[in-house]
Structure 1
Amino acid sequence: MEPDRVLEGLDPEQTQAARALRGPLCILAGAGTGKTRAVTHRIAYAVASGVVTEQQVLAVTFTTRAAGEMRGRLRGLGAPRVQARTFHAAALRQLSYFWPQVVGGPTPTLIESKAQVVTQAARACALQLDRTGLRDVASEIEWAKVTQVRPADYEAAIAKAGRAAPIAARDMARVFDAYEELCRERNLLDFESVLELTAAMLNEHPTIAEQVRAQYRYFVVDEFQDVNPLQKLLLDAWLGDRDDICVVGDPNQTIYSFAGATPAYLTGFSAAYPHATVVRLVRDYRSSPQVVGVANGVLRHARGETARHRIELLAQRPDGPDPSYTEYDDEPTEATSVARRIVALIDAGVPAREIAVLFRVNSQSANYEQALADAGVPFTVRGGTRFFDRPEIRHAVHTLRGARQGSNADHPDESLVTAVRHLLAPLGLTPEPPEGRQAREKWESLAALAQLAEDVAAARPGATMGDFVAELEARVATEHAPEFEGVTLASLHSAKGLEWDAVFLVGLTEGMLPIVYAETPEQLEEERRLFYVGVTRAREHLALSWGLARSPGGRKSRKPSRFLDGLRPASPSLANQREGRRTRPTAAQCRICGATLLEAAERKLRRCADCPADYDEDLLERLREWRRDTAAEQQVPPYVVFTDATLRAVAEHVPQDSSQLARISGVGAVKLQRYGEAVLALCAGDRPAGGNADATQGRGTTQ
């Protein structure tokens, strides 16, 4: 490919980055500004210009998905032989190749999970850890190794870092030491050791370092704000005394400090390389101006390092709808309203897979799983299992089932809530949340189960354990649609690097975001950056919401997140948004009784739900039969074709042509093209030609 053709279509800042072919380059890339486009075009331009060969380039990123995307783009740009790998994949390849020469003997076995070895190490220290404790200890070992902390130095290191150990610090150091010893004895390598040994091999064996550095002369590191000390050690070993390195990242998206990542390498790049070229990408191609305005507003109130390195985004997309800020009386009401709004978006043509509900902790997903299931909307839970499939919840449900017959009988004066909490206590439901991220997530799941018991008791005074277990079993048995076509439920951390047309940021209260255990200024700023990451996942629709109480009828003591200050409208407009009713320029009125219509389904029908319907019942039945057959042929849920509300609206208005059909809410341009002819034929009393819309064209979409 001609070099100049590679640069076609890049904006001025991206072009500047692509033309900086030699020496150190730092690309500060805001969310949605096309950083992958910039770095892949730069690599392809360097190859096309003869500055470097494809085989001499090593592009490093953090996930296999990101590496795969980079390779795909490079193939399209005429550079298919460029190596784009994760840190671990690149290091493992080199270590495996040189192992016979450096060490000899059998190649170590790579362990993808530390759990089994940690279990044995804990037993060797006469410690018994449950599943959650094992995960937390394994995570703590990872933190220690990536920050280059040895077992002997662990206690002093966490004191200096202000970090709480998941178990007693002395015991943690002992288990860490035993873990390392077991790995040595059994010739096992974890991912951190792969990086460490590769760096040591390069630093201690000059001839091998020469070979590797002769192979790779041109480096690109993506998401540089997430680099940890161990990865930086390896990167420096790869580079040697050279400086042909391009780093790209966004200090405003640093959200993994708890795992050892630090933005200091990115923000301090110019100090490390005083002759570096620095390019700032600020044109946001992902989100509407309205979403970009919220994102910029989030960082406008930042402090410390976040404020010093703030990137002000410039929106490039056309205008979209205004973000909504909605206050609810309680969490279940919030979840139910969000589910209704999601149904309305799907009716308007937004695919279910292009909608996400994002929350701070995984335990918040339970209400949304239930609300979406009740609304008939399929969903997938990213970054974790569904609530009732989590090991601690399955164990808890089993325990509660076993207590169904005897709990209240043995303790007749004990309330349902007290009995449930008593049974959950041995499983990990302590009065206060424990230390350790995994332990806290388990505790939050059990606390949500205890809260469900409170909700059942409040709704049905005198409810027994049998009543509660029946409620649990009904929820467990809720059927969920296939994941590939569903709304995404995800924590803010697991949403990093993804984007959707519509994003619902939920549970935005003090104590949840920022999380209750974020106390230092640095921790609070990381929570702000986490909020920023959530906002910038949205392309067009952004909804922010919070509930004042945990359960219906509960004390409304919660406060909206401090991160909403300066973003949300004044309180009078919030009052109009209670119960999910957003302010609108005009109010729709019932065409039968003249009352103001508040619910989306009522506005679609242009009448109150209680007013007598004047639709053709035979036509509605024919429409439902047609929808059922079409959905079966296309292998999608029936609501993907049209919702019940849209079919009722069609049966009431009986449109005679495409223009009349298009005016019905829920019939967008895509659905009009796909299904319009069949629907109009049914309205005219005819059988649709061919029976259904084209199944191949319609399969796998909710447009």
Structure 2
Amino acid sequence: MTAAPQASLFTPAPQVPQVPETADAVLEGLDPEQREVATALSGPVCVLAGAGTGKTRALTHRIAYGVRTGRFKPSTVLAVTFTNRAAGEMRGRLRQLGAQGVQARTFHSAALRQLQFFWPRAVGGDLPRLVERKVQLVAEAAAHCGIRLDRSELRDVTGEIEWAKVTRTVPADYAAAAAKADRRPPRDPAEIDRIYRRYEEFKRERVLIDFEDVLLLTVGILQDHPEVAVQVRSQYQHFVVDEYQDVSPLQQRLLDLWLGERDDLCVVGDASQTIYSFTGATPDHLLNFRVRHPEAKVVKLVRDYRSTPQVVHLANNLLAHARGRAAEHRLELVAQRPKGPRPLSTEYADEPAEAEGTARRVKELVASGVPAGQIAVLFRTNGQSSLYEQALADAQVPYQLRGAERFFERAEVREALTGLRAAARFGGNDSRHDDTAGLPSQVRAVLSGRNWSPVPPAGSGAVRDRWESLAALVRLAEDLSAARPAAALGDLVAELDERAAAQHAPTVEGVTLASLHAAKGLEWDAVFLVGLTEGMLPITYAKTDEQIEEERRLLYVGITRARVHLSLSWALSRTPGGWGGRRPSRFIETLRSGATAAPLGSSAGVPGATGGRPDTKAGEDSGQDGFRTAPRRRAPARCRVCGRTLTEAGEMKLMRCETCPSDMDEGVYRRLRDWRETRAHQLGQPDYCVFTDKTLVAIAEAVPESETDLARIPGVGARKFRAYGTDVLAICAGEDRAVAQDEGGARAERNSSEK
């Protein structure tokens, strides 16, 4: 493989686009629908814009065309969106189009500016100080109520208070409103009611306001002081709202007050990208726009300039199975780019194999010339990131985590490590932890002292993220115990410290790891959608039809982030050797069966992947659309000698009971053991780092004749398959496999094991 091309330090900076000389020049390069938006200068206008269709381009050219033709004065235009990044991008584009002076802000930024200006006149005195750390004040309110919240519950209760405020729900109505919205509060609604009340009282006593108050107070001043409303409306006469499907009831009320009786409004949105209902966002305002404004001009943007036809077809097919009101207004995207590679689907035996396989493919893409910064690995919850952080670190691929702390920097992980170190120091003298129990049991005992339970919580949010992070520590203990049955807590702590050190390397431009929610509004050349199993996507706590459809939209957002390369994957088991009873996401099933889907290729023959075989005949195990048909359920592992169900990791690796007779080839086993000893010595590692004893026994019992046979043996992961597969197959075939003794040979082996 060749290294990815590096950008030169002396590459000239990209040329700043020339400002169009005339108003008509602003319209050059727009497609017919974008031009229709840009020239519709009188409201109301509703733009239904699919993913990748150039909505920001259409919006900014509309504003610039209005300014350049003299229809808009720059200072009278207010464009609002939802993130500072989007607002900054809009301002930059408007400057390039010769429309300086237009206000492009978030709802909160625009409201705060008005509140600061009008507060002395409308209320008197100085504007109350903004709360710097809302969570801290919520914690005080909870403590005053005699309610103890852990760190995760605190974040979630704070989120509930924010949701209540943006939906204009007062404390007394919280419980009823939460039930009506099918929310799953982290604590009893009556407790959240009490905390919410006390939080508001603390703010009044201390003359503080929070970000939700900025909107509420601006609404209050505009409602109660007509002279202020008149002045605001004389200042701003033309309004543009981006991402209109994410508007909350409170933001809509503020927008109505800004407008007054006028209708010079242009909104842009896509109901199929509504994924923030948990924050109070609702697509109802977008879907009801024609009801409120019967004379509105509606323009649909469906030409997708971002993704290849293969990616676009897959996205369209996903929404073709959608239900509900948003689905009735879905947009059928039309790809504009040349054809690209087929999206791939891969089924793995377990999560570590999925992470390793993903890291390997990422490295291959980088080697082929795709910049690491143009690759993303997207998952449903932040708790899934640790495996991919480790797999990319092992593969020496730089990465950056977006929208969440790195795994070993999370508060719950740091606290757990402190507890594990303490337990390791006490050892068998600590009565709280039975030193004779297995390592996973000891870890569970330590974590249970920190309110962790093997059963996941029913709710979502920070509580679930905390549980997933600690569950990942248990899985690491299980993996270590399977590889080293005699491993103790001290060994686990050393392993975790080593992993933490590797993942604390300085952040550089690299592969993006992000949740699907954090990926909204972004795009990459290559996207890996991982962990696509029932219970994860849709998430377990999505019960109602409406919640399930939002999970579908979340996957749609993930698919439409990809420009060229798209990969979907899932694992049948959490841990190596575990019962493979998981099912791929129901959304994968609909993509399999859809006649309009673009073909998806399966990763047949990939070590660690269970779907497809190198000798599969054409059409076998695949649907007509090319999406390989994975088994709905996998039977539990059974002993190949007596047929008993296997539950222990070591027995699953051998595929037989420990007490059942072995048919191991002693000669193959001896040669494998001698070879392992030499390899481990060259690499400066313990023998088990090459292969564990049980894996050697399993190989000697199976005596694999092909790469496929070897890849199926538990304990032979993708990395070890690449590093040692040729040698192992040669030994099984009876060849005397020479092992290089010089330093160069050891270095070559070490490099191979890292790939």
TM-score normalized by the length of structure 2: 0.77
CA distance 1:551–1:586, change in 2 (3 Å): closer
Say which of 314, 322, 345 aligns to 1:294: 314
CA distance in 1, matches of 2:615, 2:38: 49
CA distance in 2, matches of 1:112, 1:530: 31
CA distance in 1, matches of 2:214, 2:222: 12
Give the counterpart letter for 1:133 in structure 2.
E
The answer to whether the aligner puts 1:507 opposite 2:527 as a matched pair is no
How far 1:340 sits from its partner (Å)? 0.8
Alignment deviations for residues 561-598 of structure 1 (CA, whole Å, 9 cap, x no partner): 111124249999565556359989999xxxxxxx9999
CA distance in 1, matches of 2:454, 2:605: 37
CA distance in 2, matches of 1:364, 1:127: 30
Say which of 558, 576, 586 aligns to 1:552: 576
CA distance in 2, matches of 1:477, 1:401: 16
Matched with 1:489 is 513
Matches within 5 A, 1:610-621: none
CA distance in 2, matches of 1:369, 1:19: 47
Give the counterpart letter for 2:608 in structure 1.
E
Matched with 2:374 is 354
**Higher mean C-alpha deviation, range 48-57 or range 92-101:** 48-57
How far 1:161 sits from its partner (Å)? 2.1
**Higher mean C-alpha deviation, range 180-189 or range 481-490:** 481-490
How far 1:483 sits from its partner (Å)? 2.6
CA distance in 1, matches of 2:215, 2:230: 18
Matched with 1:252 is 272
Matched with 1:668 is none
Q: Could you say what secondary structure the match of 1:549 adopts? A: coil
CA distance in 1, matches of 2:364, 2:601: 25
Q: Could you say what secondary structure the match of 2:565 adopts? A: strand
The answer to whether the aligner puts 1:421 opposite 2:450 as a matched pair is no
Q: Could you say what secondary structure the match of 1:404 adopts? A: helix
CA distance 1:112–1:66, change in 2 (3 Å): farther
CA distance in 2, matches of 1:172, 1:604: 54
The answer to whether the aligner puts 1:140 opposite 2:140 as a matched pair is no
Matched with 2:301 is 281
Alignment deviations for residues 249-281 of structure 1 (CA, whole Å, 9 cap, x no partner): 111110000111000000111111000011110
Alpha carbons 1:147, 1:260 under 8 Å: kept? yes
Say which of 67, 75, 78 aligns to 2:95: 75
CA distance in 1, matches of 2:558, 2:218: 35
Give the counterpart letter for 1:539 in structure 2.
R
Give the counterpart letter for 2:479 in structure 1.
D
**Higher mean C-alpha deviation, range 108-117 or range 359-368:** 108-117
Matched with 2:224 is 204
Q: Could you say what secondary structure the match of 1:274 adopts? A: coil
Q: Could you say what secondary structure the match of 2:370 adopts? A: coil
CA distance in 2, matches of 1:216, 1:566: 47
CA distance in 2, matches of 1:494, 1:573: 27
Give the counterpart letter for 1:417 in structure 2.
P
Say which of 456, 459, 471 aligns to 1:433: 456
Matches within 5 A, 1:82-97: 82-97=102-117
Alpha carbons 2:302, 2:334 under 8 Å: kept? yes
Say which of 181, 205, 217 aligns to 1:161: 181
The answer to whether the aligner puts 1:55 opposite 2:68 as a matched pair is no
CA distance in 2, matches of 1:586, 1:352: 33
Give the counterpart letter for 1:200 in structure 2.
G
Alpha carbons 1:408, 1:465 under 8 Å: kept? no
CA distance in 2, matches of 1:118, 1:85: 28
Q: Could you say what secondary structure the match of 1:484 adopts? A: coil
CA distance in 2, matches of 1:572, 1:240: 54
How far 1:602 sits from its partner (Å)? 13
CA distance in 1, matches of 2:581, 2:361: 25
Matched with 2:544 is 520
Matched with 2:414 is 394
How far 1:520 sits from its partner (Å)? 0.5
Alignment deviations for residues 7-59 of structure 1 (CA, whole Å, 9 cap, x no partner): 11000111111111102111010000000000000011111122110000000
CA distance in 1, matches of 2:107, 2:507: 30
How far 1:171 sits from its partner (Å)? 1.4
Matched with 1:628 is none
CA distance 1:44–1:55, change in 2 (3 Å): same
Matched with 2:657 is none
Say which of 60, 74, 77 aligns to 1:40: 60
Say which of 258, 270, 289 aligns to 1:269: 289
CA distance in 2, matches of 1:266, 1:609: 62
CA distance in 1, matches of 2:264, 2:319: 32
Q: Could you say what secondary structure the match of 2:140 adopts? A: helix
Q: Could you say what secondary structure the match of 1:406 adopts? A: helix
Give the counterpart letter for 1:430 in structure 2.
S
Alpha carbons 1:373, 1:480 under 8 Å: kept? no
Q: Could you say what secondary structure the match of 1:467 adopts? A: helix
Alpha carbons 1:355, 1:503 under 8 Å: kept? yes
Alpha carbons 2:346, 2:568 under 8 Å: kept? yes
Say which of 604, 608, 612 aligns to 1:579: 608
Matches within 5 A, 1:333-372: 333-372=353-392
Alpha carbons 2:345, 2:600 under 8 Å: kept? no
Give the counterpart letter for 2:589 in structure 1.
D
Alignment deviations for residues 628-656 of structure 1 (CA, whole Å, 9 cap, x no partner): xxxxxxxxxxxxxxx978xx9xxxxxxxx
Say which of 142, 146, 160 aligns to 1:126: 146
Alpha carbons 2:77, 2:236 under 8 Å: kept? yes
Give unpaired runs (5+ residues) of structure 2.
Answer: 1-20, 594-598, 617-705, 712-716, 731-735, 738-743
Alignment deviations for residues 315-374 of structure 1 (CA, whole Å, 9 cap, x no partner): 001111111000111000110111111111010011111111000011111111111111
The answer to whether the aligner puts 1:453 opposite 2:473 as a matched pair is no
Alignment deviations for residues 227-258 of structure 1 (CA, whole Å, 9 cap, x no partner): 00111111111000100000001111100001
Say which of 337, 340, 352 aligns to 1:317: 337
Give the counterpart letter for 2:470 in structure 1.
L
Q: Could you say what secondary structure the match of 1:478 adopts? A: helix
Matched with 2:555 is 531
CA distance in 2, matches of 1:417, 1:259: 37
CA distance in 2, matches of 1:562, 1:407: 46
Give unpaired runs (5+ residues) of structure 1.
Answer: 588-594, 614-619, 625-642, 649-703
CA distance in 1, matches of 2:607, 2:553: 28
CA distance in 2, matches of 1:305, 1:240: 29
CA distance in 2, matches of 1:600, 1:321: 23
State the identity as a percent: 58
Say which of 578, 581, 586 aligns to 1:562: 586
How far 1:412 sits from its partner (Å)? 4.1
Q: Could you say what secondary structure the match of 1:45 adopts? A: helix
Q: Could you say what secondary structure the match of 2:502 adopts? A: coil
Alpha carbons 1:408, 1:419 under 8 Å: kept? no
**Higher mean C-alpha deviation, range 494-503 or range 1-10:** 1-10
Alpha carbons 2:283, 2:326 under 8 Å: kept? no
Alpha carbons 2:357, 2:718 under 8 Å: kept? no
CA distance 1:604–1:285, change in 2 (3 Å): farther
CA distance in 1, matches of 2:507, 2:267: 36
Alpha carbons 2:348, 2:611 under 8 Å: kept? no
Q: Could you say what secondary structure the match of 1:579 adopts? A: coil
CA distance in 2, matches of 1:571, 1:273: 42
CA distance 1:455–1:240, change in 2 (3 Å): same
CA distance in 1, matches of 2:727, 2:557: 39
Matched with 2:245 is 225
Matched with 2:497 is 473
CA distance 1:342–1:9, change in 2 (3 Å): same
Q: Could you say what secondary structure the match of 2:453 adopts? A: coil
Alpha carbons 1:249, 1:266 under 8 Å: kept? yes
Give the counterpart letter for 1:293 in structure 2.
H
TM-score normalized by the length of structure 1: 0.83
Alignment deviations for residues 449-468 of structure 1 (CA, whole Å, 9 cap, x no partner): 11222222222223222222
How far 1:484 sits from its partner (Å)? 3.4
